[in-house]
């Protein structure tokens, strides 16, 4: 003869409680990984854009051409890498174009990208983050400058 005993204090519903606690924690962990990856990719892209802008400016003949070319190069580089910036600021230091031929000079480019992170919707993570990179490139000392 089989006797059935009823359990007291069973585990009924404990899986639901574990899921209610574990799933949001896991989702937060995944969102933080996405945040870190997106930020790292954007930082690399902004550094690349700054280097491209500085190089483009350094081979220009005039300071005006250097500014215009560097602006276009930085924005084009970010667009090619599909980085979603809310705003992009490109600053070019072309003051060394005023130096006479024979004196060394350099061009500096600073690129700032306000990265859009609003789609992550994670508590504690801002909706955007400013990423900045600066790069320099030498101007040919013996090339004509205007």
pLDDT value for 117: 83
Ordered mean pLDDT values, 10 residues apiece, the chain (146 residues): 62 75 85 88 96 95 94 96 92 92 92 88 78 95 71
pTM of the model: 0.79
Domain ranges of the chain: 22-139
How many DSSP H helices and E strands does the chain contain?
Answer: 2, 3
pLDDT tens readout for residues 91-105: 999 999 988 888 899
Token reading at 123: 């508590």
pLDDT value for 73: 97
Task: Name the DSSP class of 100.
Answer: P
pLDDT tens readout for residues 38-55: 899 999 999 999 999 999
CB 139 within 8 A of CB 54: no
């Amino acid at each position: 003869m089989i006797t059935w005993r009823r359990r007291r204090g069973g585990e009924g519903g404990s899986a639901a409680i574990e899921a209610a606690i574990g799933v949001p924690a896991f989702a937060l962990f995944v969102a933080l990984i996405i945040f870190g990856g997106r930020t790292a990719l954007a930082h690399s892209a902004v550094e690349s854009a700054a280097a491209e802008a500085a190089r483009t400016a350094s081979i220009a003949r005039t300071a005006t051409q250097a500014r215009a070319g560097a602006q276009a190069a930085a924005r084009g580089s970010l667009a090619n890498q599909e980085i979603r910036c809310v705003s992009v600021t490109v600053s070019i230091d072309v003051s060394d174009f005023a130096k006479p031929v024979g004196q060394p000079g350099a061009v500096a480019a600073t690129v700032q990208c306000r990265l859009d992170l609003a789609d992550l919707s994670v508590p504690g993570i801002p909706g955007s983050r400013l990423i900045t990179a600066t790069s320099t490139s030498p101007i040919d000392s013996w090339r004509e400058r205007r």
